[in-house]
Amino acid sequence: MRFLLMLCALAGVCASAQAAESPSIPKPAAIDAEVQRVLKDTGAKGLAIAVIDDGKVGYVKSYGVRNAKGEPLTTQTVMYGASLTKAVFAYAVMQQVDQGRLTLDTPLADMLPQPLPSYASPDIINRYSDWSALDERWRKLTPRIVLTHSSGFANFRFLEPDEKLTFHFDPGARYAYSGDGLLTLQFAMETGLGLSLRDETDRIFKGLGMTRSSLIWRPDFADNLADGWNDRGEVEAHDERSKVRVAGSMDTTIGDFARFAAAFVRGEGLSAGARADITKRQLKITTRTQFPPFQPELPADQQRADLYAGLGVVVFDGPQGHGFYKGGHNDMTANTWVCVERSKRCVVILSNDVRAEAGFAALVRFVLGETGVPYEWEYGDHAGKS
């Protein structure tokens, strides 16, 4: 199968006709038992799961507790979306492409009324990032480059010695995960195009019936909110995010994000071309693992042949054909969203305990069968330990 995937990737296409038939989705009782096994094996306190089949939400359930009081985690409990926010942002960007407001290859320089490094007020730096040290290569930045994580920036500016973004390679040259890259595009869209990403994402959420999702804190979330557990089993309170940050500020529920995942895999809300662009093989991924982001690129014969950046997601080819996924992680959050395009099947997992992440590979495989999702690249040596 790996030889077939290499041939598919080299040819730029994948023979979906040769993809295996999708296995049957397990019965609810079997999914329940597998989730309980993952919770027991990892020690995680809470986990929520949704299954989409043929573009329709078929199963949504939450397990465990949402806080140290032992209150139950429910399908309407607000949880961190973390980096799943990036996929929602890509969807919002492609809606703007459909409306003719920009293209994937519009230079950010053409959006902004003045050079990017000149925006250096404390308010802008606090809300977005610090570009004051950038050289002229900033003019090469485009939405496509940013959404494929090839801006050349560190993940976040605070990781730099002087807390100012700088280029580690020429924009577009290679993949290296960068949240601040996406914040740069957010700034260009809001400052240069006059858009509000809060308004744009709220419109998306409202249209899909996602009543408990937002990129900024809402007081009505407090009545059913998930705190979390870190890798030491310590409780951490849910932060009330005061800024819209497209790299990861989304609050959502498993019920809400299941609606988004189903709409997305059906292609709802986007033209066929815009939807295809998101999960197109945009940029080859050449490293052994995703982190650290500036690790050496592997020799060509050691690279996973089917692994590419899409727009805000990672795309791959496996036994069931073309697929995509996006993860989300912080000290107390572990999320994953995996879809197979041909069958329009997805699994969404949200957990308010980062320890659950060790069980994701096995749980996704149990529900969808073998898909080829690149968890060995996402998690490195910690992939599939449960």
* Per-domain boundaries in the chain: 1-9+23-66+73-81+219-231+264-379
Q: Is the peptide bond before 292 cis (omega within 30 degrees of 0)?
A: yes
pLDDT surpasses 90 at 382: no
pLDDT of the residue at 8: 46
Confidence at 20, pLDDT banded by 50, 70, 90 = confident
The length of the chain, given as a count of residues = 386
pLDDT of the residue at 386: 36
Q: Measured between alpha carbons, how far is 329 from 132 in angstroms, rounded to an integer?
A: 29
pLDDT of the residue at 383: 57
pLDDT surpasses 50 at 385: no
Please check whether residue 306 is in contact with residue 280, taking contact to mean a CB–CB distance below 8 angstroms: no
- The pLDDT of 319-338, averaged and rounded, is 98
pLDDT digits (tens, 9 = 90+) for 29-68: 999 999 999 999 999 999 999 999 999 999 999 999 999 9
CA-to-CA dists, residue 87 to 32, 81, 188, 226, 275, angstroms:
27, 10, 18, 22, 12
- Of 367, 278, 371, 366, the C-alpha closest to 321 is 371
Q: Measured between alpha carbons, how far is 41 from 260 in angstroms, rounded to an integer?
A: 30
Instruction: State which fold the 1-9+23-66+73-81+219-231+264-379 domain adopts.
Output: Beta-lactamase (3.40.710)
pLDDT surpasses 80 at 12: no
Confidence at 367, pLDDT banded by 50, 70, 90 = very high
pLDDT of the residue at 320: 98
Confidence at 11, pLDDT banded by 50, 70, 90 = very low
pLDDT of the residue at 155: 98
Mapped onto helix, strand or coil, the DSSP state of residue 193 is coil
pLDDT surpasses 80 at 369: yes
Please check whether residue 149 is in contact with residue 181, taking contact to mean a CB–CB distance below 8 angstroms: yes
Please check whether residue 60 is in contact with residue 73, taking contact to mean a CB–CB distance below 8 angstroms: no
Confidence at 381, pLDDT banded by 50, 70, 90 = low
What percent of the chain is predicted at pLDDT more than 70?
Answer: 94
What is the pTM for the complete model shown?
Answer: 0.94
pLDDT surpasses 70 at 116: yes
Please check whether residue 337 is in contact with residue 261, taking contact to mean a CB–CB distance below 8 angstroms: yes
Confidence at 19, pLDDT banded by 50, 70, 90 = confident
Radius of gyration of the chain (CA): 20
pLDDT digits (tens, 9 = 90+) for 308-327: 999 999 999 999 999 999 99
pLDDT of the residue at 17: 43
DSSP for 51-67 reads EEETTEEEEEEEEEBSS
pLDDT surpasses 80 at 224: yes
Confidence at 18, pLDDT banded by 50, 70, 90 = low
- The pLDDT of 195-217, averaged and rounded, is 98
Look up residue 356 and give its two tokens: 């659950």
Mapped onto helix, strand or coil, the DSSP state of residue 29 is helix
Q: Measured between alpha carbons, how far is 253 from 75 in angstroms, rounded to an integer?
A: 6
pLDDT of the residue at 7: 41
Angle, helices 84-98 vs 179-187, to 10°: value is 30
Q: Measured between alpha carbons, how far is 372 from 19 in angstroms, rounded to an integer?
A: 12
CA-to-CA dists, residue 17 to 13, 196, 321, 373, angstroms:
12, 43, 9, 19
Report long-range pairs for 199-208 (Cβ below 8 Å, ≥24 apart).
200/92, 200/95, 200/96, 201/88, 201/89, 201/92, 201/244, 201/250, 204/88, 204/91, 204/92, 204/95, 204/260, 204/269, 205/256, 205/260, 207/269, 208/256, 208/259, 208/260, 208/263, 208/268, 208/269
Residue with tokens 């496996």: 318
pLDDT digits (tens, 9 = 90+) for 232-246: 999 999 999 999 999
